[in-house]
Amino acid sequence: MSIDLPAAPHQATSRHADEHQTVGRSVRRRDLVEKVLGTAQYAVDMTMPGMLHAKVVRAQRAHARILDIAADNAMAVPGVVAVVTAADLKTLFPRFGHIISDHFILATGKVRYFGEPVAIVVAETRAAATDAADLVEVSYEDLPEVISTAEALAPGAPLVHETTYAPTADATFKELTDADDDEQPDLTNIAHEVNIGWGDVDAAFADAHLVVESATRYPMLYAYAMEPYNAVASYGDDGLTVITTAQHPFMVRDDLARIFNLPLARVRVTVPYLGGGYGSKSYTKVEPLASVASWAVGRPVKLTLSVEEAIYTTRVDDAVINVRSAFDADGRILARDFDITMNSGAYADNSPLVLAKSVNRCFGPYRVSNLRVRGRSVYTNTSPASSYRGFGAPQGNLAGETNLDQAADKLGISRADIRRKNLVRFGEEILPGNRGIDADLIADLDMVVESLERGRRDAAHYGIGFGVTASDAGAYPISTAQVRVETDGSVIVLSGSTEMGQGSRSLLAQIAAEEFGIGMDRVSVVQSDTAGSAYERTTGASRTTTLAGLSVQRACADARQKLRAMAAELWNCPQDEVSDVPGGVRGPQDQQLDFGTIVRKWFGGSAGEVTGIGLVRREGATKEMPPFWETGLVGVAVEVDPDTGYVTLDQLVTCADVGFAINPQAVEAQDLGAATQGLGAALFEELVYDGPQLANANVVDYRVPRAGDLARRIDLMLAERRDGVGPYGAKGAGEGQLNPVGGAVASAIAQAVGRWPTRLPLTPERVWRLLNNLPEAD
């Protein structure tokens, strides 16, 4: 996609239009029409017979002991069936959590943040439940709260948690962080620590030609999926069934099974279309609330949150990062030293893993022979933080890239050249012992810089900035898929991945259609049902194209092998005399059979099907970690109004190094969406605490980018070198272009105003203060 720019040869390799029948082409999304017409079904549209409605009673304190919960007045409201509190859950396991089981379903003993669920009112109607919730009276004994990480880490600070919790994470997290669960340190408000490094950092700094120190603050954000959290649950003799808004239904199933001590086979979690996720719907969120309510009353229960309640359910880790970098006279990096402190809120959720990824990504895809990174995830009395698009990279990238630009300015070399000198080359390791980089970052950077320079304007208070990231993406390489070939030759794909707006339903259909040599209209895709689709570990970390796509491709190959064997049996010939053709097979004497005929003849009637199984695990092409590197290369040009500090985005340039774009238009759309979301944190978005309570937990005061905030000129570029482990050489996309936007915007504004900012978002007031050499506003 190129807007208001001359045509340019953006793709790193030319496309061969006839090489593939279906993949590599932009196709219309499967969910397009129904979403545009408003007929698409989401979890909020789902009902169950006899369903009740729930409303959560939320804490009006940030930190306090619960003395009493009086529900008599609430129970007197017509239609109210029950008021469920933590005292009712004593026979259950009352906590959940991906990394550690520290998250109470309902506040137990004390509340840890303003807005924490304290009780659930269950009623025949939503109106009755809402009215009754206001009548539940909670008595508190106030405790001193810690809102900032500085307060939480101060000597003698009040503890958010006065105990440790058993870990629930599997070996994946322990492997990534080298966590030692046998060590029990003194209780503090540090939820998790991750430290990595190599070389002799102090010696490198002592010998450096230039040392650059800087500090940045990344804001507290809300992911702002259009669909707030909601779920409907039914607990009965057959187990538990939940329809919800989860990115990872199989991981939610695991948490629910632990809570109710049920076999996994008796917990079913299904996810219809997701109204956006961006990481915020990763892992378990509201499903335990709906489930324990159903368990308590013996009927299905539906829980639907408002946007304000969703903001209090999960947010993004804000971070303070200090960085020092050492350089020689030519601008080569000698050493880097990072200190990362993340405000993770009252419960850990997935923040320890976000921290671990930030530690891995903050120093950039550069040759750093001496490195030290210290990271802390800190409990505070604020709403819990969790996953967010970019997964720790945006926080670290802001610090690392702006520090690098400051070094370039002080050394008198261009910001592009300092990157060219230090970027790793194809195949080089960023993290020792891990997969080498599978991208040509210098070529990608040159594409971005060329586009920026071509569009540069000669204007006062005008600046350009760009950034590079590489994320150890893909999560853990576990994926399964099934394909079923029917008696008419049509194909059903079963995948546990979630369609959340990124287009996976279309992409997986494209892969199956390509592998079988049939039209996409003969392929259907069934997703996100723990009882009815194949297992998929997660939908996140940009893994679906690479890993779920690879498992679908392997399932197709397995089904084709079975069909060849069946055809050989029908023809009474050796199997090696049967070969694949589009839509069927070829045998002796150039005989051909289509898939449907093979199935019908082999089974002996108009019945039967052939099932192919595809598996991905940590072996072979996906043995090395990470499964792939997701790069992010973004350039921006900004113009600053000197009277108001308002920032206008003149250019946005992105380069997605995706290996092979299975659906090019979808990749471009994902890149534009990711970069736009990054602009939110760079220029507009920030959750603000006023004492113990959020001051802007609503859709009016929390400002997100609008259509009018997009760049005047947009250039979205694809680099396709077939260098990924996924189908046809593909690698993941969708997050990378968010990661460097904050740093690129900060550098562009620094160039435009002559002073370096230290925190995002760069609102007009903050930029005006920079222009006028005033202290930055809080």
Q: Contact, 379 vs 484, CB < 8 A?
A: no
Helix and strand tally (H, E) in the chain?
19, 32
Over residues 54-80, the pLDDT tens digits come to: 999 999 999 999 999 999 999 999 999
Q: Contact, 726 vs 549, CB < 8 A?
A: yes
CA distance 569 to 105: 57
Mean pLDDT throughout 353-381?
A: 97
Q: What CATH code is assigned to 476-622?
A: 3.30.365.10
608: left (phi over 0), alpha (psi -120 to 50) or beta: left
Q: Which of 608, 616, 633 is nearest to 419 (CA)?
A: 633
Which pLDDT does position 186 carry in this prediction?
A: 80
Which pLDDT does position 376 carry in this prediction?
A: 97
pTM: 0.94
Q: Which two tokens stand for residue 537?
A: 């570990």
For residue 207, the 8-state DSSP code is T
Which pLDDT does position 293 carry in this prediction?
A: 98
Angle ∠(451,682,473) on CA atoms, nearest 5: 75
Which pLDDT does position 181 carry in this prediction?
A: 47
Residue 312 DSSP SS3: helix
Stated length of the chain:
778
Q: Which residue has the tokens 């906590």?
A: 95
Q: Residue ranges per domain, the chain?
A: 476-622
> Which residues is 244 bridged to in the sheet?
231
**Is the preceding omega at residue 761 within 30 degrees of 0, hence cis?**
yes
Q: Which of 255, 104, 262, 288 is nearest to 169 (CA)?
A: 255
Over residues 631-674, the pLDDT tens digits come to: 999 999 999 999 999 999 999 999 999 999 999 999 999 999 99
Cβ neighbours of residue 101 under 8 Å, at least 6 residues apart?
Answer: 93, 95, 165, 166, 167, 168, 258
**Is the preceding omega at residue 49 within 30 degrees of 0, hence cis?**
no
Parallel, antiparallel or unpaired: strands 52-58 and 301-304: parallel
pLDDT of residue 15 exceeding 60, the answer is: no
Q: Contact, 323 vs 400, CB < 8 A?
A: yes
Which pLDDT does position 178 carry in this prediction?
A: 52
Which pLDDT does position 100 carry in this prediction?
A: 87
Helix axes 741-753, 664-679, angle to 10 degrees: 50
Q: Which residue has the tokens 């079988």?
A: 516
- Strands (E) located in 52-124: 52-58, 64-70, 80-85, 95-96, 103-104, 110-111, 117-123
Over residues 314-333, the pLDDT tens digits come to: 999 999 999 999 999 999 99
What rounded mean pLDDT belongs to the chain?
94
Query: Which residue type occupies 688?
Result: V
80-85: strand order across its sheet: 80-85, 117-123, 52-58, 301-304, 230-236, 239-244, 267-270
Over residues 223-240, the pLDDT tens digits come to: 999 999 999 999 999 999
